[in-house]
Structures are given as structure tokens and as C-alpha cells.
């Protein structure tokens, strides 16, 4: 939904895959610290709303993106409070954040704009052509003819890998996710690291949500993300919590998504409901195939109480 069928193709596939991987990278960072964030869909919706109103009232995409990050980040702080500070069940806390984000985004939009015959809109974020590269046969349009958010996504895939596996802070995040007691004994503030990971993950989810309102549609609509947050959760498992494999999963999902859009544009006799279902069959198949072989962080979804044995 919310796609132009005529845009189904390699360029669109690559762009969607990269930008959607932002939410997956954010979820990966949170889960690496031991926090399971089922509220990512709600955070993306708040990001879509924040990005839209920020851009609508200022005409500035940068402000829109910053507001998207802040809107999702507020929910991430609440998620951290529920899961880290008062140690509620992480599954229940995540579902609560999802429902809150879904309802709050719709409510704030209605309070801001009321009921209108014509929905408010913003101009779509322009694409940036890289001189000399965007015209290369084959790969030019796929890699070098995108909006700024996609280029940010391209950069963040390797940068996230470097951050998690090559920096001291990344080592702390991984240690907290695997053995928080040992991390605490080594002087790492487990609570602070987990809060940081959840907030960073929420901010990335907010950028991913803003893509739907600023790049894909120019509008804010209820449930505009169409379950992308849930797909992100599945593809983090597919990628075994590694950036490069998360990107591979996102590309596969993007190709299937583009394929079903192309079939719709060609006027296939298959029911459109079946075509819309195709991209979501992959995560289900992946989860079944990787059952008991996920390699999840050892302390994932486990609350930490200092001094408790």
C-alpha cells in the first residue's frame, strides 16, 4: 500500500531496502544491549508524524527529520523506563509502546489538522543525482539516484558495524547484552548503556518512519508504515544481529515487494490480496527456518537488577 506501481523496479527496490534497514539497524542496537523492542512500529509511526509536521510547518526537511528522531526518541525513553528502570516484562512493554505510538500519532495529527476534505501534504524530498555516477549504465540509477535519507542509510550500514564491533562503546553494548553482571563488575553502567542503545534505536526508527511521509507519499496517514516495524524485528533475526546480513534481508524483502508491485502494474489475474501478502511470507519462512538457531544475545529480554544473583 501507499506505493506507485509504476515505480516498481531496481532503483525503488534498493531505496526502500536501504531506508527500511534503518529501523532494523536501530532494533539491532537495542537488542545487542539486551532490550527487545516490540514497540518499533509505534516509534516509526511517531517518526512519520514528527517528520511530516516538522516539514509541513517549517518547509525544512532537516527540521522534519530531527523532529522525527525526537518524536520516536521520546517513546524510546518511555520504553527504556518500562524495561530498564522498573523492569516490566519487555514483551508487554513493547506492545504497549506500539499501541501508544499508533494511537498517539493518529490523535496528534487529528488535533493538529482536524478533519479536512483535502489532506495536508508536503513536497516530496528531492532526489540527489551524483554527477558522473548516476548515469552509469545499470548500477547508476540503482545506487546514485536517491533522496538524502537513502544515502544516509547506505552510510549507516557499515558505520553501524564499525560502531558495534570496532569501538569501545560497541563492546560495552555487546557485553551488556551477553552478560550484564560481568559488564557491571568491569565498571560498565548497565542501565546507562541500555538506555543509550534504546534511544539510538528509537531515533533510527524515527528516520525510517519519516521516509514514508516525506519521501514515499508526502502525506501522513494512519498506519502509514504498514507493519514495517514488525518486518524489522523479523529481519534482525534473519541477519543474526549483524548489519551486513540485515541489509541482505532488507534487499530480499525489497525485491519481493517490488516484484509484487510490478505484477499488479501488469494486471495479473492473481488476487491483489495475495500479491500484498507475498513480502510478508518471507519473514515468516525465515523465522521458521531459523528457529532455535538465532544466536540472539544471551541476556536479550532479561531485566538486570544490580546485586541480584
Decide if pLDDT at 9 tops 60: no
What is the helix (H) or strand (E) element at residue 128, kind and residue range?
strand 128-129
| Residue 187 pLDDT exceeds 90 | yes
Structure confidence by residue, pLDDT tens digits, 73-128: 999 999 999 999 999 999 999 999 999 999 999 999 999 999 888 889 999 999 88
C-alpha cell at 11: 532503483
Cα-Cα-Cα-Cα dihedral sign, residues 165, 304, 283, 223: negative
Rounded Cα distance between 53 and 71, Å, is: 11
Which helix H or strand E contains 145, and what residues bound it? strand 145-146
pTM of the model: 0.85
Contacts 24+ apart (CB under 8 A), 190-197: 190/304, 190/306, 191/84, 191/85, 191/304, 193/33, 194/33, 194/34, 194/35, 194/80, 194/83, 194/84, 194/304, 195/77, 195/80, 195/84, 196/33, 197/29, 197/30, 197/32, 197/33, 197/35, 197/173
Query: For residue 124, what is the DSSP state?
Result: P
- For the chain, helix, strand, coil in percent to 5 are 70, 0, 30
- Is the per-residue pLDDT at 180 higher than 80? yes
Asked if 97 and 39 count as a contact pair (C-beta separation under 8 A), the reply is: yes
CA distance 70 to 53: 12
Mean model confidence pLDDT for the chain: 84
Phi, psi of 150 (to 5 degrees): -70, -40
> Which top CATH class is 5-121+152-289?
mainly alpha
* pLDDT tens column, 132-147: 777 777 666 666 777 8
Domain segments of the chain as ranges: 5-121+152-289
* pLDDT at position 13: 59
Burial class (CB in 10 A: 0-12, 13-18, 19+), 261: buried
Q: Is 270 exposed, middle or buried (0-12, 13-18, 19+ CB in 10 A)?
A: exposed
What cell numbers appear for 6 in the block?
509504476
Q: Give the rounded distance of the alpha carbon of 53 from its chain centre.
A: 19
CB neighbours of 66 closer than 8 A, spacing ≥ 6? 54
DSSP H/E element including 146: strand 145-146
Element (H, E) at 113: helix 90-113
pLDDT band at 282 (very low <50, low <70, confident <90, very high): low
Amino acid at each position: 500500500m501507499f506505493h506507485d506501481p509504476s515505480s516498481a523496479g531496481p532503483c525503488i527496490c534498493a531505496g526502500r531496502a536501504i531506508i527500511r534497514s534503518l529501523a532494523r539497524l536501530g532494533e539491532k542496537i537495542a537488542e545487542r544491549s539486551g532490550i527487545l523492542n516490540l514497540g518499533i512500529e509505534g516509534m516509526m509511526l511517531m517518526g512519520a508524524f514528527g517528520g511530516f509536521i516538522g516539514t509541513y510547518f517549517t518547509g525544512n526537511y532537516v527540521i522534519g527529520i530531527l523532529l522525527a528522531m525526537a518524536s520516536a526518541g521520546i517513546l524510546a525513553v518511555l520504553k527504556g523506563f518500562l524495561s530498564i528502570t522498573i523492569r516490566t516484562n519487555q514483551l508487554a512493554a513493547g506492545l504497549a509502546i506500539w499501541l501508544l505510538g499508533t494511537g498517539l500519532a493518529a490523535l496528534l495529527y487529528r488535533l493538529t489538522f482536524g478533519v479536512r476534505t483535502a489532506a495536508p501534504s508536503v513536497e516530496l524530498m528531492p532526489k540527489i543525482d551524483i554527477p558522473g555516477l548516476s548515469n552509469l549504465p545499470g548500477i547508476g540509477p540503482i545506487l546514485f539516484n536517491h533522496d538524502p535519507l537513502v544515502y544516509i542509510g547506505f552510510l549507516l550500514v557499515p558505520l553501524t558495524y564499525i560502531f558495534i564491533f570496532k569501538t569501545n562503546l560497541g563492546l560495552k553494548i555487546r557485553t551488556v547484552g551477553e552478560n550484564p553482571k560481568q559488564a557491571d563488575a568491569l565498571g560498565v553502567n548497565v542501565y546507562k548503556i541500555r538506555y543509550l542503545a534504546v534511544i539510538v534505536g528509537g531515533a533510527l526508527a524515527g528516520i525510517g518512519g519519516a521516509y514514508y511521509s516525506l519521501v514515499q507519499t508526502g502525506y501522513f496517514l494512519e498506519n502509514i508504515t504498514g507493519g514495517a516495524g514488525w518486518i524489522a524485528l523479523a529481519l534482525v533475526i534473519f541477519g543474526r544481529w549483524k548489519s551486513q546480513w540485515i541489509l541482505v534481508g532488507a534487499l530480499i524483502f525489497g525485491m519481493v515487494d517490488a516484484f509484487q508491485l510490478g505484477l499488479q502494474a501488469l494486471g495479473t489475474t492473481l488476487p491483489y490480496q495475495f500479491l500484498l501478502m507475498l513480502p510478508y511470507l518471507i519473514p515468516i519462512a525465515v523465522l521458521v527456518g531459523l528457529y532455535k538457531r538465532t544466536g540472539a544475545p544471551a541476556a536479550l529480554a532479561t531485566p538486570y537488577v544490580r546485586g541480584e544473583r
